[in-house]
């Protein structure tokens, strides 16, 4: 192999040889180490990481308390499978999630490994409880890459490709989008039309929704929309599932995104930032619904792994001890205000939006319709990387640049990242 290659180039050539193209990597970077909101590649270049493992690292890379919890747990028991023997930290994680989501109500939790697993099992639980089959999700929503997850996902590419046929009895409703002129009333009217024309509400087991669409473009569901959805689910006996996989654990300024709307979901799916980088997910819900599946109906060999549970307990401790919600809100104000200032200087930023420290900019063409401009968004991402900032895209048309920096990012690092972003915008626009 050419000795003139950088270490990044050498390893990426091996990646091309040994790893299939279906698993995309957003940046031609091979990471060597990371800490907090910073990441260094194998050639020693430093980046500000405003991706955070795609919203996984709300407490930052390698937080010392998470690292210590993992090391300690590995020395005690790394894996036994909760389906064989119980262990205390699984039960502790479940108890704390139940309190965080359900308050004083009786909630129960079951733990899995990935967000897609959580979604799949939430649907199983809802169907088991209601004895109904249909599930409604939303256009622009993202719920995983398993066959059911892809079916629930409201985007055709790149997720659905030629992977069908897809599971039956899945329906898609319209999600509000103020920037594109879709109000809550418009979306609710279309949902009612769906009930009238495609699937009667008494056949619907569940409605699943992200309080802020993640891969769909960082669109926040308006308070009145979520409240109306809660009312319709209660009226028709439908299980309301809030997918908090990306929005949860402080990303939006509250522990969970649904809390902004002052509603109580029946089931909540959690993953990503729950365990500080360890693979852990779960379904948290009303006890009578969670108990619908009979013994053996739920599980998974690695679900609720002991090491991941130890990491999750450390993460939950950090939220309590370091007031990460308040830290995130301070950073969110700084980021949002500066993104609005950039929008004034760069009109190709059609929209600045988000909730809490979950912010994004939508890149548009220079036309009357503000048409989505995916190529421009990619150019901004590439130029940002050259400047030392890692960000990724989202949106149905892949024209939205999203920011998912850890809640432990410093104000100085946010300011530095914004300087890098402006440099990228100047080059791209």
Which pLDDT band, with edges at 50, 70 and 90, does 4 fall under? confident
Average pLDDT of every residue of the chain: 97
pLDDT for residue 65 is more than 90: yes
Residues 110 and 141 in one domain: yes
Give the whole-number percent of the chain exceeding pLDDT 90: 98
- Asked if residue 125 is part of any domain, the answer here is yes
pLDDT of residue 3: 63
Question: What does pTM read for this prediction?
Answer: 0.96
Q: Are residues 219 and 318 in the same domain?
A: yes
Spatial strand order of the sheet with 392-394 comes to 349-355, 358-363, 400-403, 392-394
CATH code at 311?
3.40.640.10
The SS3 call for residue 268 is: strand
Assign residue 360 the CATH number of its domain: 3.90.1150.10
Q: What are phi and psi of 400, to 5 degrees?
A: -115, 130
What is residue 144's predicted lDDT score, i.e. its pLDDT?
Answer: 96
Question: Tokens at residue 44, please?
Answer: 């020693």
What is the per-residue DSSP string for 350-394?
EEEEEETTEEEEEEB-SSTT--B-HHHHHHHHHHHHHHTEE-EEE
Pick the last residue of a domain from 322, 356, 390.
322
Do residues 311 and 328 share a domain?
no
Domain total in the chain: 2
CB 175 within 8 A of CB 140: yes
Same domain for 330 and 290, yes or no, is: no
Sign of the dihedral defined by the CA atoms of residues 98, 104, 107, 108, in that order: positive
Shared domain check, 95 and 84: yes
- Report, as an integer, the average pLDDT of 85-95: 98
Asked whether 268 and 256 are in contact (CB, 8 A), the reply is: yes
Which of 295, 322, 349 lies at the terminal end of a domain, its last residue? 322
Quick one: which H or E segment has residue 135?
strand 134-138
Q: How confident is residue 157, by pLDDT bands cut at 50, 70 and 90?
A: confident
β pairing state of 134-138 and 204-209: parallel
Q: Is residue 2 part of a domain?
A: no
Distance, CA of 178 to chain centre: 21
Read off the pLDDT band of 317 (50, 70, 90): very high
Residues 6+ apart with CB under 8 A from 172: 136, 137, 138, 139, 154
The pLDDT of residue 1: 47
Same domain? For 301 and 379 the reply is no
User: Does residue 351 share a domain with residue 292?
Assistant: no
Same domain, 118 and 247: yes
Indicate whether 367 and 412 sit together in one domain: yes
Question: Does residue 2 carry a pLDDT above 60?
Answer: no
> Are 357 and 345 within one domain?
yes
Rounded average pLDDT over 363-383: 97
Final residue before a domain boundary, out of 322, 355, 380: 322
- Note whether residue 1 is domain-resident: no
Mean pLDDT of 135-147: 97
Mean pLDDT in residue range 28-57: 98
Give the Cα separation of 83 and 67 in Å (integer). 26
CA distances from 176 to 128, 214, 222, 240 (A): 30, 14, 8, 17
Question: Where is 328: in which H helix or E strand?
Answer: helix 324-345
SS3 172: strand
Statement to judge: residues 222 and 254 lie in one domain: yes
Q: Are 175 and 191 in contact (CB under 8 A)?
A: no
In b/e form, how buried is each residue of 352-384, taking b as 16+ CB within 10 angstroms? Answer: bbbbbbbbbbbbbbeeeebebbeebbbbbbebb
Are residue 139 and residue 256 in the same domain, yes or no?
yes
Does residue 280 sit within a domain?
yes
Question: Does residue 329 sit in helix, strand or coil?
Answer: helix
Q: 239: domain range?
A: 67-322
């Amino acid at each position: 192999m050419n000795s003139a290659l950088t270490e990044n180039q050498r390893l990426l050539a091996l990646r091309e040889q040994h790893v299939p193209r279906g698993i995309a990597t957003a940046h031609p970077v091979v990471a060597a180490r990371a800490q907090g909101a910073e990441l260094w590649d194998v050639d020693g270049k430093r980046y500000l990481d405003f991706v955070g493992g795609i919203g996984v690292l709300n407490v930052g890379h390698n937080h010392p308390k998470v690292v210590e919890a993992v090391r300690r747990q590995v020395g005690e028991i790394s894996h036994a499978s909760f389906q064989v023997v119980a262990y205390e930290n699984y039960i502790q994680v479940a108890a704390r999630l139940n309190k965080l989501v359900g308050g004083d109500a009786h909630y129960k939790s079951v733990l899995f490994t990935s967000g897609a697993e959580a979604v799949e099992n939430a649907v199983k639980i809802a169907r088991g409880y209601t004895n109904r089959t249909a599930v409604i999700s939303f256009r622009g929503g993202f719920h995983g890459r398993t066959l059911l997850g892809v079916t629930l996902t409201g985007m055709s590419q790149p997720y659905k490709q030629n992977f069908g046929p897809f599971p039956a009895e899945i329906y898609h409703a319209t999600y509000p989008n103020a920037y594109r002129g879709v109000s809550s009333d418009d979306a609710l009217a279309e949902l009612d039309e769906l009930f009238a024309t495609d699937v009667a509400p008494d056949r619907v087991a569940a409605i699943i929704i992200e309080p802020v669409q993640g891969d769909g473009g960082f669109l926040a569901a308006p308070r009145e929309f979520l409240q109306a959805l809660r009312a319709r689910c209660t009226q028709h006996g439908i299980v309301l599932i809030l997918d908090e996989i990306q929005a949860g654990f402080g990303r939006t300024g509250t522990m969970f995104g649904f809390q902004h709307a002052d509603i109580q979901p029946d089931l909540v799916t959690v993953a990503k930032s729950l365990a500080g980088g360890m693979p852990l997910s779960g379904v948290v819900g009303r006890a009578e619904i969670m108990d619908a599946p009979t013994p053996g109906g739920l599980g998974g060999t690695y679900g609720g792994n002991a090491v991941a549970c130890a990491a999750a307990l450390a993460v939950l401790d950090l939220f309590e001890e370091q007031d990460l919600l308040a830290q995130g809100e301070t950073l969110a104000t700084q980021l949002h205000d500066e993104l609005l200032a950039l929008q004034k200087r760069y009109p190709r930023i059609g929209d600045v939006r988000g909730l809490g420290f979950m912010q994004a900019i939508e890149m548009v063409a220079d036309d009357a319709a503000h048409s989505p401009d995916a190529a421009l968004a990619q150019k901004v991402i590439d130029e940002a990387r050259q400047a030392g900032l890692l960000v990724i895209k989202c949106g149905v048309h892949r024209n939205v640049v999203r920011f998912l920096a850890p809640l432990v990012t410093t104000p100085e690092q946010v300011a530095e990242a914004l300087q890098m972003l402006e440099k990228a915008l100047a080059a791209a626009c």
